[in-house]
Amino acid sequence: AQSIREKQPNNTLFLNAGDSFQGTVWYSLYKWRIVSHFTKLLKYDVMTVGNHEFDDGVDGYAPFLEATRHTIPTVCCNIDVSGEPKLVGKIKKSIVVEVDGRKIGIVGYLTPETTFLSNPGNTIKFMDEIQCLREEVRKLKSDGIDIIIGLGHSGFVRDVEIAKSVPEIDVIVGGHSHTLLYDGPKP
């Protein structure tokens, strides 16, 4: 990503599809602190929420959002954090960024299965991705945004359903299922 940014500084987006909180000894030892440090170094343009961000509950995720929210926006349209004071105002449904003079809407989403896959507690509500995406994409389109990116953490099968059900989304950058989508020569 860094070399692409160096070659085309005005024509790139670096997105994070969630699950920053798991899988390394560093996270096991230092939790959100180390993740926020490396997240800032990587300089994502936008990120969404993964189910593992709630593995240590809201108390494990809220400080990370606080540490990164001024430099890296987090988007997720199908999560309602209005009942959780530690998260209120830290997650947007979508964001509009400008790349090479073009306005691009990025709308995030997360699997509602997070309720039982992780530990979000009972103050957070997860809604159906498709219904929430339709609503948010409609708002972006009415604001004149022509390019829409879905930044999701619901898995490949669900991403395919979303692509069929919300055709106004131009590109989906998805996580959760760790599906390799590559048809080129073997590396």
What's the mean pLDDT in 121-132? 98
- 7-30 pLDDT, tens digit each: 887 889 999 999 988 877 888 888
Within-domain flag for 31 = yes
Structure tokens at 41: 């170094």
**In total, how many domains does the chain have?**
1
Within-domain flag for 184 = no
Q: What is the pTM of this model?
A: 0.93
| Helix or strand run (H / E) with residue 95 | strand 94-99
Going from the C-alpha of 22 to that of each of 63, 135, 149, 185, the distances in angstroms are 16, 31, 25, 30
What's the mean pLDDT in 61-79? 96
Within-domain flag for 86 = yes
Within-domain flag for 15 = yes
Within-domain flag for 34 = yes
Within-domain flag for 179 = no
Q: Which domain does 115 fall in, by range?
A: 2-174
In the structure, what pLDDT confidence band is assigned to residue 116 with cuts at 50, 70 and 90? very high
Within-domain flag for 100 = yes
Hey, what amino acid is at 102? R
Q: In this structure, are residues 21 and 55 in contact, taking their beta carbons and an 8 Å threshold?
A: yes
Dihedral Cα 73, 78, 82, 83, nearest 10 deg? -120
Residues 6+ apart with CB under 8 A from 186: none
CATH (domain of 96): 3.60.21.10
Within-domain flag for 183 = no
